[in-house]
Amino acid sequence: MMGETVTRAQLSEAVYQEVGLSRNESSDLVELVLSELADALCRGEMVKLSSFGSFSVRQKGERMGRNPKTGEEVPIRPRRVLVFRPSHVLKDRINAAQTEV
């Protein structure tokens, strides 16, 4: 069961409806929050959102992979990857919503 994707515009509209800021202020606020999250992650910091989860960046080392089409082994360069760990509150909420459906 796949749901719809939540967009920046929908987040801005939700802020507009709930907080009462103007649409432009709501959009700016959403952009500011997302920008600050991205900047903190780029600096290598962990971002924790209470009752939601935590985001962190992890370093993956070089390894050998395989081209599935040709079977040829190719090196995969080291890189940084984004990791999200949901909080227990979010996990419980998701599981409770699933049982209601």
Please list, residue by residue across 53-65, b when 16 or more beta carbons sit within 10 angstroms of its beta carbon and e when fewer do. bebebeeeeeeee
pLDDT band with cut points at 50, 70 and 90 for residue 101? low
Kindly tell me if the per-residue pLDDT of 100 is higher than 90: no
* Chain segment 17-50, per-residue pLDDT in tens: 999 899 999 999 999 999 999 999 999 999 999 9
